[in-house]
Chain A
Amino acid sequence: MYNVTYHRASSVEDAAKLAAGAAEAKFVLGGQTLIPAMKQRLAAPSDLIDLRHIAAMKGVTDSGGGIIIGAATTHAEVASNADLQAACPALCHLAAHIGDPHVRHMGTIGGSIANNDPAADYPAAMLALNARIVTNKREIAAADFFTGLFETALDEGEIVTAVKFTAPAKAGYAKFANPASRYAMAGVFVARSGGSVRVAVTGAGDNGVFRAENLEAALAGNFSPSALDGQTIDPANLMSDIHASAQYRAALVIAMAKRAVAAAG
């Protein structure tokens, strides 16, 4: 790791101010992706601004109309939150299967979506749940937020403070993990609200998380795994690496979509 200067922010405003004064600042929450990247000298911020202690960024509120999860809420907290278990158990299931128990104690939902790793789990949930990403400056629809591999709509110095979504009628998540890294090689989140079904895929797209519109259409009329029989995903836009070709990932997406629908019940 290169040398870095650490700051512990006391508030969102404080964090923004610290960032503005630094040559090349990065915000850190759990650091479970950023610190490994820094250790391997793939990331080299001059300053690290720790948001983990900002009370306003923590916790889950369910106001009836909408659910708000603070960006500093850890995966372990999301997985075990009683309100979320009632409102959207699929999200708890997703959080309970990110990384390992130790990573889940540190890693946060805000850190994960701001990083937008193409194999991370949360982006699929955000997109399928039609969530809104709340920052210190604005709210951004998930569809507009995730813009590419490790790319988001965040401006320089902009801080994700929370995510907001309306609980779906039904939702499910299934992933096939990379055998080595255990990141998603194909992760599919399905959410049904009223007559509309949204299907979002992570781990597979060559430009990051994406919606599978043909699967959504097939499920809109018949929300059951068999509705996906014969459906395909075009491998042309999927990633290919030593672990999985695009063709194999395409097959996994269909298999995981069926399992996600089955899990949604």
Chain B
Amino acid sequence: MGVEGIGARVTRKEDKRFITGKGRYTDDMVVPGMKHAAFVRSPHAHARITNIDASAAKGMPGVIDVLTGKQIKADGIGNLICGWMIHSKDGTPMKMGAWEPMATATVRYVGDAVAVVVADTKAQARDAAERVEVSYEELPAVIHAVEAMKPGAPQLHPEAENNLIYDWEIGDSAAADAAIAAAAHVTEVDIVNNRLSPNPMEPRATLGVYDAAEDHYTCWTTSQNPHVARLVMSAFYNVAPENKLRVIAPDVGGGFGSKIYIYPEEIVCLWASKTTGVPVKWVADRTESFMTDAHGRDHVTKVRMAFDKDHRITGLKVDTIANLGAYMSLFSSSVPTYLYATLLSGQYVIPAIHANVRTVYTNTVPVDAYRGAGRPEATYLLERTMEIAARELGVDPAELRRTNFIRSFPYQTPVIMAYDAGDYDASLDAAMKAADWAGFPARRKEAESRGMKRGIGMSCYIEACGIAPSAAVGSLGAGVGLWESAEVRVNAVGTIEVLTGSHSHGQGHETTFAQLVSERLGVPIDSVSIVHGDTDKVQMGMGTYGSRSGAVGMSAIVKALDKVEAKARKIAAHLLEADEGDIAIENGELKVAGTDKAVPWFQMALAAYTAHNLPDGMEPGLKETAFYDPTNFTFPAGCYICEVEIDPETGKTEIIQFVAADDFGNIINPMIVEGQVHGGIAQGIGQALLEGVHYDETGQLLTASYMDYCMPRADDLPSFDLSHQVTPCPGNPLGIKGCGEAGAIGSPPALINAITNAIGTENITMPATPQKVWVAMQ
């Protein structure tokens, strides 16, 4: 590897602007004549709108207009959609209720948009929004998924009887039942996966600009996938045809899934810009983010796992009820199905698996993918179940896992996935060694002498990243393809621009992607620029989520680089009067192997553009495009170990050590990969220990600010001990598996297994707050 190539710990090219305050986020954008929007939102979880009187608001200082759902509907703007069709096991399609960008008749969660005020300043818009008088007729609300399914529960959408969206299954129910019936031991566990708010530090924001002269719209927005946003706004919401709509996602301050989706605010601000004739900006405050950003997780599950007398797993049966909130968000339907139940084999040979999943509407914020998306839910239930089984069977938890590890690849699970490569023993061994697992009993004894309860727990996770190939996901109901695009432009002086459909909102693509180009073409990373996030600059792409940008986005760049190299070789061979097959590209030169004949990279590039001396019939220029559609998912896996100490007087958990041993396949920049794991673990620890969305029974959101929603802070966390084991992914040219979500997937069960080990009872749910731990210990 070179100092800037694959495998190098290169500091990030993008950092300079961020550490000097020169980042450009959506809220930093100012355009001439720009005005500010404030939304009027429902204070009720469920109500009929009987009247909207905006007359007082319209007379407030600075107010340009107050617009409502009836107006946006009259202008032909469509309802929000869910882009993944799931069929119930009886063959019927999922029951999608209408989600209007601003409600015209019924509001279904606290925060549902009802009207928008456009005014000179944000403060004036908010002043006026308070003066819009909306009359409501309150309806009974239902918050919990299990309650929503019961007869007589409040009904959210006429399309969905008993609020049931779909009743879906995967696997062989009879085989799983038979395994359970014949088992030497069955472990039964009730699992609750808590509801979370993603909380990127940059609140969502959008700036809609309508240009009447060109009949053209520009949408600046906090998006992880601007092209998907344009596609959806154009094809489904009728905002404008694609060629009349430019979507720009500039620097974006974190996403974690919550900025994948197209929300009402983008649509409304674009439309309002045309309606009012002024550019309209909206920036969420944090409470608005809690009330409107898609939440994550919120499952309840019954698990039965069957073992034979040798402690081999013979079957797994899972029954899950997932809360999707008041409306179906963009990819919400796929999360508790194909992103969840397909991972229920974990790292283990399980001959028979069956999962039944029911999703329901409730009067809560829509629920969609949040870092991990389905895979944390699968891992949590499997790894809690394995731990409890080991305790019931009286065997070492590591040994029980080893007894059941998959060791032969490729491995076809009973739930669609075909694992391509892995070495689960290697991660387990590395983690146990790093954690000094063997020394734990002595440490526990020492803690006891201080009156503290010490516990240790592990988790062996698998995930599936780079969701693909497009034809396969299409057959499972996806409304989009899941490929990625890249364009490599070699300029006439040899500098390079890579235009990628991936979007960086903290992942460091500007550096990692440049390292790939540097490795391949032997040019310094400073001469490589990564362009992303603008539909006018970059051809159609699919964006960044699901840990896909390395495995899929960079593979597209590899494909484009292959084409660039092939043409560059032809030009060099022509210039050097050599055979194309003898040309090697290294250290900024194209040379004839085994000779001292060479042409510098920039000279070859210049030759491509002067076109004075090109091979016969060759087109001038050097710019290539590629679309890469993977052949399979990738399967990162690893083992996490957590050790905790609990204060029995207060129930407070302190994390003493946290060890992560991950197999991400090949790694481009270890520094950036480690950073992804650190952040993922912190979010996983947040889920397990600190974070939880609470509603009261009437549907009021009780955790609507950082006063009540507990974000992990520096003193909640330890430093982390990381290592990497490498089995390259055979499915893509770089051997990359993806690293963005692993930390959030693997960590919650390790932490809860440690806490339950410390306190000697399994009866605790996430987040294991001091109060819950204290109660469990009483």
Within the complex, what minimum Cβ distance (angstroms) separates B607 from chain A? 58
Contact B774 A180, beta carbon cutoff 8 Å = no
Within the complex, what minimum Cβ distance (angstroms) separates A260 from chain B? 13
B123 contacts the other chain (CB 8 A): yes
The complex places the Cα of A252 from the Cα of B769 at a distance, in Å, of 14
Contact B694 A242, beta carbon cutoff 8 Å = yes
Contact B769 A179, beta carbon cutoff 8 Å = yes
Q: List the B side residues contacting A252 at CB < 8 Å.
A: 650
The complex places the Cα of A245 from the Cα of B772 at a distance, in Å, of 10
Which residues of A, 154-194, contact B by the 8 Å Cβ criterion? 176, 179-181
Within the complex, what minimum Cβ distance (angstroms) separates A226 from chain B? 13
The complex places the Cα of A210 from the Cα of B690 at a distance, in Å, of 29
A244 contacts the other chain (CB 8 A): yes
Within the complex, what minimum Cβ distance (angstroms) separates A163 from chain B? 27
A2 contacts the other chain (CB 8 A): yes
- Contacts A179-B690, A255-B649; is A2 near B127 (CB within 8 Å)? yes
Q: List the A side residues contacting B575 at CB < 8 Å.
A: none
Contact B774 A243, beta carbon cutoff 8 Å = no
The complex places the Cα of A248 from the Cα of B690 at a distance, in Å, of 17
Contact A244 B650, beta carbon cutoff 8 Å = no
Q: Which residue of B lies closest to A256 (CB)?
A: B650
Which residues of B, 121-147, contact A by the 8 Å Cβ criterion? 123, 127, 130
Interface majority SS on A: helix, strand, loop or mixed?
loop
**0/1 interface trace, chain B 527-556, chain A, CB 8 Å (1 if under):** 000000000000000000000000000000
Within the complex, what minimum Cβ distance (angstroms) separates A85 from chain B? 24
Q: Which residue of B lies closest to A252 (CB)?
A: B650
Q: List the A side residues contacting B710 at CB < 8 Å.
A: 179-180
The complex places the Cα of A248 from the Cα of B711 at a distance, in Å, of 22
The complex places the Cα of A2 from the Cα of B123 at a distance, in Å, of 8
Contact B708 A181, beta carbon cutoff 8 Å = yes
Contact B127 A180, beta carbon cutoff 8 Å = no
Which residues of A, 234-253, contact B by the 8 Å Cβ criterion? 242-245, 248, 251-252
Contact B650 A176, beta carbon cutoff 8 Å = yes
Contact A248 B649, beta carbon cutoff 8 Å = no
- Contacts A2-B127, A181-B706, A181-B708; is A244 near B771 (CB within 8 Å)? yes
A55 contacts the other chain (CB 8 A): no
**0/1 interface trace, chain B 275-313, chain A, CB 8 Å (1 if under):** 000000000000100000000000000000000000000
Q: Of the candidates B123, B287, B702, B771, which one forms a contact with A1 in the assembled complex, judged by CB atoms under 8 Å apart? A: B123
Q: List the B side residues contacting A3 at CB < 8 Å.
A: 123, 127
Q: Of the candidates B649, B690, B702, B703, which one forms a contact with A251 in the assembled complex, judged by CB atoms under 8 Å apart? A: B649
**0/1 interface trace, chain B 625-653, chain A, CB 8 Å (1 if under):** 00000000000000000000000011110
The complex places the Cα of A121 from the Cα of B715 at a distance, in Å, of 20
Q: List the A side residues contacting B775 at CB < 8 Å.
A: 248
Contact B123 A243, beta carbon cutoff 8 Å = no
Q: Which residue of A lies closest to B710 (CB)?
A: A180
Within the complex, what minimum Cβ distance (angstroms) separates B232 from chain A? 33
Q: List the B side residues contacting A176 at CB < 8 Å.
A: 650, 652, 770
Within the complex, what minimum Cβ distance (angstroms) separates A168 from chain B? 25
Q: Which residue of B lies closest to A254 (CB)?
A: B649
Within the complex, what minimum Cβ distance (angstroms) separates A98 from chain B? 15
Contact A180 B649, beta carbon cutoff 8 Å = no
Q: How many residues of B contact A (CB 8 A)?
A: 24
Q: Which residue of A lies closest to B769 (CB)?
A: A179
The complex places the Cα of A190 from the Cα of B110 at a distance, in Å, of 44
Q: Of the candidates B649, B711, B716, B771, which one forms a contact with A243 in the assembled complex, judged by CB atoms under 8 Å apart? A: B771
Q: Of the candidates A41, A179, A251, which one forms a contact with B774 in the assembled complex, judged by CB atoms under 8 Å apart? A: A251
B709 contacts the other chain (CB 8 A): yes
Within the complex, what minimum Cβ distance (angstroms) separates A253 from chain B? 11
Q: List the B side residues contacting A41 at CB < 8 Å.
A: 130
B707 contacts the other chain (CB 8 A): yes
The complex places the Cα of A5 from the Cα of B702 at a distance, in Å, of 32
**0/1 interface trace, chain B 666-698, chain A, CB 8 Å (1 if under):** 000000000000000000000000100010000
Q: List the B side residues contacting A248 at CB < 8 Å.
A: 651, 771, 774-775
Which residues of B, 687-744, contact A by the 8 Å Cβ criterion? 690, 694, 702-703, 706-711, 716
Q: Which residue of A lies closest to B649 (CB)?
A: A255
Which residues of A, 24-52, contact B by the 8 Å Cβ criterion? 40-41
Q: List the A side residues contacting B127 at CB < 8 Å.
A: 2-3
**0/1 interface trace, chain A 1-21, chain B, CB 8 Å (1 if under):** 111000000000000000000
Q: List the A side residues contacting B770 at CB < 8 Å.
A: 176, 179
Within the complex, what minimum Cβ distance (angstroms) separates A33 from chain B? 11
Which residues of B, 744-778, contact A by the 8 Å Cβ criterion? 769-771, 774-775
The complex places the Cα of A244 from the Cα of B650 at a distance, in Å, of 11
Within the complex, what minimum Cβ distance (angstroms) separates B60 from chain A? 12
The complex places the Cα of A247 from the Cα of B269 at a distance, in Å, of 49
Contact A180 B708, beta carbon cutoff 8 Å = yes
Contact B650 A242, beta carbon cutoff 8 Å = no
Q: Of the candidates B123, B651, B707, which one forms a contact with A180 in the assembled complex, judged by CB atoms under 8 Å apart? A: B707
Within the complex, what minimum Cβ distance (angstroms) separates A118 from chain B? 13
Residue picked from A179, A248, A251, most chain B C-beta under 10 Å = A179
The complex places the Cα of A14 from the Cα of B614 at a distance, in Å, of 85
Q: Of the candidates B649, B703, B716, which one forms a contact with A242 in the assembled complex, judged by CB atoms under 8 Å apart? A: B703
Q: List the B side residues contacting A40 at CB < 8 Å.
A: 287
Contact A255 B650, beta carbon cutoff 8 Å = yes
Within the complex, what minimum Cβ distance (angstroms) separates B692 from chain A? 9
Contact A245 B709, beta carbon cutoff 8 Å = no
Q: Of the candidates A2, A242, A251, A255, which one forms a contact with B708 in the assembled complex, judged by CB atoms under 8 Å apart? A: A242
- Contacts A2-B127, A179-B690; is A243 near B707 (CB within 8 Å)? no
The complex places the Cα of A175 from the Cα of B650 at a distance, in Å, of 11
- 14 further interface pairs, Cβ-Cβ under 8 Å (given A179-B770, A181-B708): A176-B650, A179-B690, A180-B703, A180-B710, A181-B707, A242-B694, A242-B702, A242-B703, A242-B708, A248-B651, A251-B649, A251-B774, A255-B650, A258-B649
Which residues does A use to contact B, with CB under 8 Å?
Answer: 1-3, 40-41, 176, 179-181, 242-245, 248, 251-252, 255, 258
What are 16 A-B residue pairs whose CB atoms fall within 8 Å in the complex?
A41-B130, A176-B652, A176-B770, A179-B710, A179-B770, A180-B703, A180-B707, A180-B708, A180-B709, A242-B694, A242-B702, A242-B703, A243-B771, A248-B775, A255-B649, A258-B649
Closest CB pairs A-B (n = 7): A180-B710, A255-B649, A181-B707, A179-B710, A248-B771, A242-B694, A244-B771
